[in-house]
Each structure stands twice: as structure tokens, then as C-alpha cells.
Amino acid sequence: MPIHTLHTIDFIEARELAAHVRNEVGIDGDLPVATAVLDAFGGTLLTERPSNSIKAMSIDNALRKGWTVLEFLRATVKFRFKQNDEGLWVPAGDDGWSQIDIDHALARDSRFCTWAGGIPLIKEIEGTRYTVGALAASNREELQDHDLVVRAAKQAGFVVEGL
């Protein structure tokens, strides 16, 4: 009988990923951001609020975005936005989740969050892609949060195509 290995990121990888987020924040004008890194099972590996100008609620929002990513295995941007032919994110309208779908998910668990800024951390291992965790940011405009976490994940070597 084959032995199956569970794939998840660890604290060391979470710290490296947070360093990539800080680097990207420095590049794009130092707009303040709260960051959360979760393992594949939804456990919090790291949260950062590097500035007192960031509200504590932003950490909670980042954690909720990360939880939502792992619960639904999709980037949170995809609940309310879609990419147009030029690759830009635009409101999804009828292609996104309806308000009824969102209300049902919220009724099921109050951690559900449709704000953009949470992405799955995907690694390719021996030709197979695994979701090994989630990265989320909060405190900026939604699409700025999303762009930041995608750039940081890419810098850290995670698969980001389609995010």
C-alpha cells in the first residue's frame, strides 16, 4: 500500500514569504499592509502588522481571506471579479458569486470573506500541483492586496498562473 505524504508549508517558508511581501511593499510605495500565512490545514503560521497605522482588524481580515482560500480552494478575487481579455480584473457581475451564494457561505461560517487579497500557495512536486497553504494581505484597496500577494508568492517560487 502506498504511503501518501501531506504537503504543507512550514514556519520557515512562512517567514521567507513574509520577507517577500515586505520587499514588494517597499517596491510599490510602502502602502501599509497586514499579512497572514496559513498552512494547508488552515493553521496560522504567521501574521504581521508592521506599522501602527494598520488597524488590528486588518489582521483578522487577512486571516479570514486565507481561511476562505483554503475552504474553497480559490483566490478570493474570484468571488467578485473576473479577468477581461486584457488580463485586468473587472467586476464579475453575473459571472461571480450571487449575493445568495455569499449569504449561504457566511451563514455556514462567519470567517468567509469575498474581499480580494487571499491566494492559494501552490507548489509543483514531482509533476503534481498541491495547495500547500494560503497567503493573504489586507488594508489596501482589494485589487492592490491581490496584486501584492501574487507578486510575493511568485518571488517566493510558488505557482501563480491563473491567480
Instruction: Give the pLDDT of residue 50.
Output: 76
Which cell is 65 given?
481571506
Please write the tens of the pLDDT for every residue from 28-43. Answer: 777 889 999 999 999 9
DSSP letters along 64-81, please? HHHHHHHHHTS-GGGGTE
What digits encode the pLDDT tens for the residues 98-144?
777 777 777 777 888 889 999 999 999 888 899 999 999 999 998 99
The domain defined by 11-155 folds into Beta-Lactamase (3.30.450)
Distance CA 139, CA 152 (A): 16
Take residue 157 and report the three cell numbers written for it: 517560487
DSSP label at 2?
Answer: P
> In the chain, what are the domain boundaries?
11-155
| pTM as predicted | 0.87
